[in-house]
A = this chain, B = another copy of it.
Amino acid sequence: MLYLARMDVHFPAHLAATEIAHLQALEKEYSQALQESGRLASIWRVVGEYANYSVFDVESNDQLHEILSGFPMYAHMKIHVTPLAKHPNAIR
């Protein structure tokens, strides 16, 4: 079951550069494990913004929330989720 998520990252002003780098390293690891498992089907950077659009392929709303709230940078992201359905014109 597919969902489109847009995630915008906003670090608070006081966060040290090393803390940010640490969070980003954890985020990369988490994100890549999700991709390898197939749960995170696609992830793209929005040009010019610290934001991404991602497509998730999960079993349920609850599983998606568990995955999203597990992101190491979750506390610093604004996430908006759009549930997707099969398009009648899709050939796949």
- CB <8 Å contact, B48 and A81: yes
Q: Binary interface profile of A, 14-57, with partner B (CB < 8 Å = 1, else 0)?
A: 10000000000001100110011000001111111100110100
Instruction: List residues 68-92 of chain A with CB under 8 A from any CB of chain B.
Output: 68-69, 79-92
* Interface residue tally for chain A (C-beta within 8 Å): 47
Majority-rule SS of A interface residues? mixed
CB distance from A1 to the nearest CB of B (A): 5
Partner pick for A4 among B28, B44, B68, CB 8 A cutoff: B44
Q: How far is the CA of A66 from the CA of B87 in the complex (A)?
A: 11
User: Which A residues contact B (CB, under 8 angstroms)?
Assistant: 1-5, 12-14, 27-28, 31-32, 35-36, 42-49, 52-53, 55, 60-62, 64-66, 68-69, 79-92
